[in-house]
């Protein structure tokens, strides 16, 4: 019944959020007013006459979010709780227990306690499963149970959690938590500094600038800026970070919209910190939005060598719009373009395929642009690195394993079965990797290929045509061969999976800071960056 309400009754509520002033609203005023009136009367009649009691707030929330799902994934509605979560995401500050927590239906899983913050001091570890907060059982709580951990600074919260089959309680004193945008910066060798930038919060540019200055004092003559896994954030911070390495007055990004006031050109406004220091920027498929502004601009301006794998490809710009009762709409207002003129948006949400999926620009339809020095760069989705580390691109099976938390869960298991490894020399053995494969099998790891989906549909058609008896044996053989292929796919991606497991194991023992320390000496992209920076001729060849 709920799905019927979503699809047949509530979707017409799309008019509600169209109360945004601007050109589109004015030109379509009659149609918008008409649809609002239709929805208002429908909503009233539904709540007054439906056979069971309804929850108007929940229905409206569902209606709005389903409406927006037809646009792009970045145009979203925030209720009061969502607005606060967005504020935390942008500032990096909140009052809580100091841990990354994943909300599941019946528990809160501690994914990462921050070193020396309340959760860590109270003894919570990665993998602990919080089942009760004060007297509230998480499984019975209908809202976002993670909100139960937040509160006034200095206030206490008692949590009940399970660990390796045992149940414990802990009293945690909440405090203001500052999640650093730059979790680590340090010298990699005698003349090369490394800066890890994890998110573009309100302090990202200040932290990055301070790190750069201190590294130069320590003797850095070259810099590695690591944007891997950085999902983006505030546009102004991205522009200010580019400004550290390019002159004042330099074009960084342009935004283009159907609404004239959103067409803007952003240039650097300050004197740079260093326009000559050799610079490598690391990116991967998790580098998005503001990360792509930084890497794309520095590439277009031939100011840095970009190393890694193609970035995510988010070239859409959002702006928050305040609504009534403390709610908010984050709406896509424009696309952004790097200095060469390319838009690196990967997916087209407005011209979907027959299944309703966003389409991707085919490589043969990419448009060529030129960097400042005349190098060829292309649009079509994401920033393509100058040095492509193919082994670092996540295979489909690896993405599935990561998404289902199997690497995290295995690292948790490893933590309780092994003593702390040596941070400098730890490597996962082949035997331990085989243990991981057995672990996946024990967890009934499900990885459905597109081939399996197609075969399943074919068998449904065959059944309707009375051919399933003749084809069933061949179908079973094909499925068996595919299962063998999947086991082989795990082995074929052994190197990639081992690296991810090693990083997660180290983080369990030595926190995020230790993980960054570890990858400085064990990471293929960083080693590639050091190789490029150590050879001026090679470095300049990429830029010219």
Q: Which of 300, 334, 379, 507 is catalytic?
A: 300
Confirm whether 441 is a catalytic residue.
no
The per-residue pLDDT for range 139-172, each reduced to its tens digit, is 998 778 888 898 888 999 999 999 999 999 999 9
Catalytic residue of the set 289, 295, 334, 340: 289
pLDDT at 3 over 90: no
Residue 99 CA to residue 122 CA, distance in Å, equals 11
Tell me which of 87-96, 126-135, 304-313, 320-329 is least confident. Answer: 87-96
Q: Return the axis-axis angle of helices 235-243 and 290-300, rounded to nearest 10°.
A: 30
For the domain made up of 184-392, the CATH class stated in words is: alpha beta
Q: How far apart are the first and last CA of the chain?
A: 62
The structure tokens 């020396």 sit at 116
To the nearest whole number, what is the mean pLDDT of the chain? Answer: 88
Q: Is 392 a catalytic residue?
A: no
Catalytic residue among 314, 330, 486, 507: 314
20: pLDDT strictly greater than 60: no
Q: Is 314 noted as a catalytic residue in this protein?
A: yes
Helices (H) and strands (E) in the chain, counts: 17, 23
Residue 389 has pLDDT above 50, yes or no: yes
Which CA distances in Å does 230 have to 132, 196, 460?
A: 32, 9, 43
The angle at the Cα of 419, spanning 416 to 421, to the nearest 5 degrees, equals 120
Return d(Cα 62, Cα 3) in angstroms, integer. Answer: 10
Phi and psi torsions of 531, nearest 5°: -65, -45
Q: How confident is the model at residue 10 (pLDDT cuts 50, 70, 90)?
A: very low
> Per CATH, is 93-178 categorized as 3.40.50.300?
no
Rounded Cα gap, residues 512 and 426, in angstroms: 16
The two beta strands, 279-283 and 305-308, are: parallel
Q: Check residue 96 and give its pLDDT.
A: 87
């Amino acid at each position: 019944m709920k799905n019927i309400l979503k699809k047949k009754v509530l979707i017409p509520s799309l008019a509600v959020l169209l109360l945004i002033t601007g050109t589109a609203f004015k030109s379509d005023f009659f149609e918008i007013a008409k649809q609002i009136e239709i929805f208002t009367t429908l909503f009233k009649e539904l709540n007054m006459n439906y056979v069971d009691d309804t929850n108007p707030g929940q229905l409206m929330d569902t209606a709005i979010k389903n409406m927006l799902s037809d646009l792009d994934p970045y145009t979203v509605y925030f209720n009061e709780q969502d607005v606060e979560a967005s504020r935390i995401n942008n500032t990096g500050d909140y009052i809580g227990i100091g841990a990354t927590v994943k909300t599941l239906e019946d528990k809160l899983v501690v994914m990462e306690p921050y070193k020396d913050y309340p959760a860590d001091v109270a003894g919570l570890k990665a993998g602990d499963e919080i089942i009760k907060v004060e007297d509230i059982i998480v499984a019975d709580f209908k809202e976002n149970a993670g909100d139960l951990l937040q509160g006034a600074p200095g206030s206490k919260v008692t949590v009940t959690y399970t660990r390796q089959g045992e149940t414990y309680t802990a009293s945690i004193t909440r405090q203001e938590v500052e999640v650093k945008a730059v979790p680590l910066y340090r010298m990699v060798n005698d003349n090369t500094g490394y800066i890890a930038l994890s998110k573009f919060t309100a302090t990202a540019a200040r932290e990055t600038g301070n790190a750069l200055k201190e590294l130069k004092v320590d003797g850095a003559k070259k810099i590695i800026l690591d944007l891997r896994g950085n999902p983006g954030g505030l546009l102004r911070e991205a522009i200010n970070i580019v400004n550290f390495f390019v002159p004042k007055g330099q074009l960084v990004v342009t935004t283009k919209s159907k609404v004239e006031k959103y067409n803007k050109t952003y240039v650097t406004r300050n004197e740079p910190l260093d326009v000559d220091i050799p610079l490598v920027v690391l990116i991967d498929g998790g580098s998005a939005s503001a990360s792509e502004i930084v890497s794309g601009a520095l590439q277009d301006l031939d100011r840095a060598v970009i190393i890694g794998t193609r970035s995510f490809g988010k070239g859409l710009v959002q702006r928050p719009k305040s609504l009534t009762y403390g709610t908010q709409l984050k709406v896509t207002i424009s696309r952004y373009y790097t200095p060469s003129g390319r838009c690196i948006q990967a997916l087209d949400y407005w011209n979907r395929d027959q299944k309703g999926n966003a389409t991707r620009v085919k490589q043969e339809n990419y448009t060529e642009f030129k960097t400042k020095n005349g190098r060829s760069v292309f649009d079509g989705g994401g920033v393509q690195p100058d040095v492509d580390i193919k082994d670092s691109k996540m295979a489909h099976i690896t993405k599935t394993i990561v998404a289902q938390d199997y690497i995290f869960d295995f690292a948790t298991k490893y933590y309780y079965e092994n003593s702390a490894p040596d941070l400098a020399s730890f490597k996962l053995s082949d035997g331990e990797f085989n243990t991981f494969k057995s672990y996946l099998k024990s967890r009934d790891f499900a990885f459905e290929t597109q081939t399996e989906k197609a075969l399943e549909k074919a068998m449904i058609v065959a059944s309707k045509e009375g051919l399933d008896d003749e084809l069933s044996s061949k179908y079973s053989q094909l499925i068996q061969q595919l299962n063998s292929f999947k086991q082989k796919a795990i082995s074929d991606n052994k190197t990639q999976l081992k690296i991810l497991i090693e990083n997660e194991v180290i983080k369990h023992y030595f926190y995020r800071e230790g993980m960054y320390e570890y990858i400085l000496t064990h990471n293929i992209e960083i080693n590639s960056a050091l190789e490029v920076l150590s050879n001026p001729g090679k470095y300049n060849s990429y830029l010219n």
